[in-house]
Amino acid sequence: MSTVVRHVMIRGRVQGVGYRAWVATTAQASGLEGWVRNRRDGSVEALLAGDKGVVADMIKACHRGPSASRVDAVVVEEAGAELLDQRHAGERFSILPTV
Domain extent listing, the chain:
3-81
pTM of the entire predicted model: 0.96
| Cα–Cα distance measured from residue 84 to residue 92, given in angstroms and rounded to the nearest whole number | 9
* 87 vs 48: CA distance, rounded Å: 11
What is the CATH class of 3-81? Answer: alpha beta
- Angle CA 2–36–16, to nearest 5: 140
pLDDT in tens, 47-77: 999 999 999 999 999 999 999 999 999 999 9
What is the distance between the alpha carbons of residues 52 and 16, in angstroms, rounded to a whole number? Answer: 29
- Among residues 38, 39, 64, 70, the one annotated as catalytic is 38
What's the confidence (pLDDT) of residue 11? 98
Q: Is 37 a catalytic residue?
A: no
d(CA 77, CA 6): 6
The active-site residue, picked from 6, 11, 13, 20, is: 20
1-30: pLDDT as tens digits = 679 999 999 999 999 999 999 999 999 999
